[in-house]
């Protein structure tokens, strides 16, 4: 009698293919706005990792790090860059410092005295901005720290940081399809593109929302976008964070603004915010006033006015004239 060989029990440890399944669908329509990113060929992050990660040895037996281990959240600092960067010691030191800053923002590492969330973001962007390799290093680090992260607050902070960074610094054209693939893995077309009080929804719905915002911002600043990389001010960082959860007429594209106003003003052909502000400039004798676009306004007052206009609340220009 022939004995049937016993099969080994199935592994309960998920494979990298299960964590990052190949793309089988294009991103959903974002609030009526068709993204150009669907035209790009997405690249599976496993392949990119196998070709580009700095798979070093570790431990007394010099066991080689696996792709899966290097793409999973860690509470520990890294001793060398995630990517195989140039031999420049300064770049390697910068990459290691970037990871520490990412951990600080996500709450996985204690902040140094005097640090704030906004100052950490600016430090991260300033460090990554000069070189494409360091930009890709930053986004690979963020992909890692938002994968299999058991800490809810840290996970949300990681996605928040990715969305903010994508407002100011793009990945390289080489890494962009891989980053797009990663973000699309976390989007669910069955969910709306925005929610009231997003923070009260289940974690998978929140992550889908953040990933959708990230895709939208990548579309603007990526290789096919028009937004330029820049060092942000603290006010710009704060605006980029707030607009993740609250749709605004400021800092968005004309198409998004028109989509935002379509229910309130279905017959308008121009953005309400543009015509309203233009009318107020004329009513306040702006044509005869010198320097209205050169003299900086008070930041708190500007933010207050923006908040009111986002609620369709037009300030009383007569009172503002004193």
SS3 for 63-101, per residue? EECCHHHHCCCCCCCCCCCCECCCCCHHHHHHHHHHHHH
- The answer to whether residue 10 is domain-embedded is no
Q: What is the pLDDT of residue 192?
A: 62
CA distance 247 to 311: 10
Do 44 and 192 reside in the same domain of the chain? yes
Residues 208 and 299 in one domain: no
166-183 burial, b if ≥16 CB within 10 A, otherwise e? bbbbbbbeebbbbbbbbb
Structure tokens at 155: 């996970």
**Length in residues, the chain:** 322
> Of the candidates 192, 213, 245, which is a domain's last residue?
245
**Do 271 and 240 share a structural domain?**
no
- Give mean pLDDT in consecutive 10-residue pieces for the chain, a chain of 322 residues: 45 37 38 35 70 63 64 93 83 95 98 96 96 95 95 96 97 94 87 67 88 93 82 92 86 81 89 88 83 75 82 71 46
- Predicted local distance difference test score (pLDDT) of residue 142: 97
Place of tokens 């010198």: 290
319: how many CB neighbours lie within 10 A of its CB? 7
Are 162 and 300 members of one domain?
Answer: no
Given a contact cutoff of 8 angstroms between Cβ atoms, the answer to whether 108 and 77 are in contact is: no
Where on the phi/psi map is residue 76: left (φ > 0), alpha (ψ -120 to 50), or beta? beta
Same domain, yes or no: 41 and 188:
yes
Same domain? 139 vs 215: yes
Which pTM value belongs to this model?
Answer: 0.74
Q: Are residues 155 and 297 in the same domain?
A: no
Would you say residue 252 lies in a domain?
A: no
Residues spanned by the domain of 304: 267-320
Query: Do residues 301 and 217 share a domain?
Result: no
Same domain, 174 and 91: yes
How far apart are the C-alpha atoms of 226 and 218, rounded to whole Å?
11
Q: Is residue 251, in this structure, part of any structural domain at all? A: no
Residue 56 lies in a domain: yes
Tell me, yes or no, whether 277 lies in a domain.
yes
Residue 197 lies in a domain: yes
pLDDT at 197: 72
Q: Could you give the CA distance from residue 116 to residue 119 in angstroms, rounded to a whole number?
A: 5
Q: Is residue 261 part of a domain?
A: no
Q: How many CB atoms lie within 10 A of CB 255?
A: 13
Interaxial angle between packed helices 117-128 and 89-106, expressed in degrees from 0 to 180 and rounded to the nearest 10: 160
Count of structural domains within the chain: 2
Rounded to whole angstroms, the Cα distance separating 268 from 259 reads: 11
């Amino acid at each position: 009698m022939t004995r049937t060989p016993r099969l080994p029990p199935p592994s309960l440890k998920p494979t990298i293919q299960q964590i990052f399944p190949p793309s089988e669908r294009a991103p959903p329509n974002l609030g009526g706005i068709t993204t150009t990113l669907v035209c790009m060929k997405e690249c599976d992050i496993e392949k990119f990792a196998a070709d580009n990660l700095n798979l070093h040895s570790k431990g007394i037996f010099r066991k080689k790090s696996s792709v899966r281990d290097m793409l999973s959240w860690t509470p520990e600092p890294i001793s060398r860059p995630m990517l195989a960067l140039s031999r420049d010691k300064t770049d390697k030191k910068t990459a290691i410092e970037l990871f520490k800053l990412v951990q600080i923002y996500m709450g996985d590492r204690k902040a140094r005295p005097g640090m704030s969330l906004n100052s950490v973001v600016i430090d991260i962007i300033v460090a990554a901005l000069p070189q494409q390799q360091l930009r890709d290093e930053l986004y690979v680090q963020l992909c890692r720290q938002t994968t299999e992260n058991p800490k809810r607050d840290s996970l949300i902070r990681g996605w928040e940081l990715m969305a903010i960074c994508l407002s100011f610094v793009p990945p390289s054209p080489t890494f962009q399809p891989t980053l797009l693939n990663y973000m699309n893995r976390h989007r669910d077309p069955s969910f709306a593109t925005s929610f009231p009080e997003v923070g009260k929804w289940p974690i998978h719905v929140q992550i889908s929302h953040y990933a959708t915002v990230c895709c939208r911002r990548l579309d603007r600043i990526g290789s096919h976008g028009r937004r330029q990389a820049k060092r942000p001010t603290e006010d710009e960082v704060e605006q980029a964070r707030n607009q993740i959860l609250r749709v605004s007429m400021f800092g968005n594209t004309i198409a998004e603004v028109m989509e935002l106003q379509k229910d309130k003003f279905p017959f308008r052909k121009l953005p309400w915010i543009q015509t309203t502000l233009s009318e107020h400039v004329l009513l306040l004798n702006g044509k005869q006033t010198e320097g209205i676009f050169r003299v900086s306004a008070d930041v708190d007052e500007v933010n207050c006015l923006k908040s009111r206009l986002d609620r369709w609340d037009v300030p009383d220009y007569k009172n503002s004239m004193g």
